[in-house]
Amino acid sequence: MNSNYYMIQDHLIFIGVFAIIFFLSTSIYLFSQNRAIRNKNSKLTASYKLIEQKLNEVQLENIGTKLNPHLFKNILNSVQSHAYQTYISLDKLANVLDYILYESNNKFVSPKEELSFATSLIEINKIKINPLFDFRIKSKIDKSDPVFEEKIFAPLLSVDLIENAFKHTDFLSQDSFISVSLELENRIFKLKVSNRASLKNVLHKEYGGFGSQSLEQRLKLIYNNHFSLQKTSKNGIFTAELTINLGEFYDKVRYIR
């Protein structure tokens, strides 16, 4: 009996030890698997966040190609600094934003639409100007012109010249001024902007920089030999004049369409 008792006891001990070893082995295996799954999930989460970040960057880059952040900054600063004209400012701002966000997606807009945008942009910038400041605007638009409502005008071409004038003018100087002339006559569009700048070196750098090159590249690619862009600087007065023969361009492209 004693012999059987000890055999049973040894057998139970063996089973217990085996059970403990099996439990420990299973626990270690499950723990390692769980850790591997957690690591895999962590890597997947990191990959997802990286993909999400890349998508956001792409979206921002796409927005950046259409929207000039400096343009919006200048516009919003003008609106914010003159609260008493907020209603008028926001009305003009709404027109500008609608045009930039929607119409600028099109390859071409009409001269009517671009001129309306340019006028709103000028009105917004005028908010920050002292009423006594020498600001001159001339508009000579023939609304009966055959190309007035034709989709032949590349959107946002007028931004750079207008924005640069307001950006580089010393509004505190007594002899400072800004002059803007918009014309559409005989199927020819003209935009002439003049201003007295406060810093010649900044002026030359800006008008010879990326913004200026981008404008000229767009004009060359779209209008080829149907435009001219002339810039002069004399005695601190900068003048830029853009002329586009929309009639010739229209006659050319309407046979291609």
Q: Which two tokens stand for residue 141?
A: 């638009």
Q: What is the pLDDT of residue 208?
A: 47
**Both structure tokens of 12:** 């139970």
Q: What is the DSSP letter of 84?
A: G
d(CA 220, CA 216) in angstroms, rounded, equals 6
Nearest CA to 182 out of 123, 250, 95, 131 is that of: 123
pLDDT of residue 217: 86
Give pLDDT tens digits along the chain (257 positions): 555 544 555 544 545 544 555 555 555 655 565 666 666 556 656 554 554 555 455 444 444 445 565 666 666 666 555 555 556 666 777 777 788 877 778 889 999 999 999 998 898 888 777 778 899 999 999 999 999 999 999 999 998 899 889 888 888 888 899 999 999 999 999 999 999 886 644 444 444 444 566 888 889 989 989 999 999 988 889 999 999 999 999 998 776 65
| pLDDT for res 111 | 97
Please give the pLDDT value at position 98.
81
Is there a contact between 124 and 92 (Cβ–Cβ < 8 Å)?
A: yes
Give the pLDDT score at 133: 87
What's the pLDDT at 168? Answer: 86
Domain boundaries, the chain: 1-66, 68-253
Residue 230 has a pLDDT of 94
pTM beyond 0.85, yes or no: no
Give the dihedral of Cα atoms 196, 200, 96, 129; nearest 10 deg.
-40
pLDDT of residue 48: 47
Find all residues with CB under 8 Å of 9, minimum gap 6, and list them.
none
- Give 153's DSSP letter: B
Query: What's residue 210's pLDDT?
Result: 42
Question: How is domain 68-253 classified at the CATH fold level?
Answer: Heat Shock Protein 90 (3.30.565)
Written as six digits, the tokens of 47 are: 């990959």
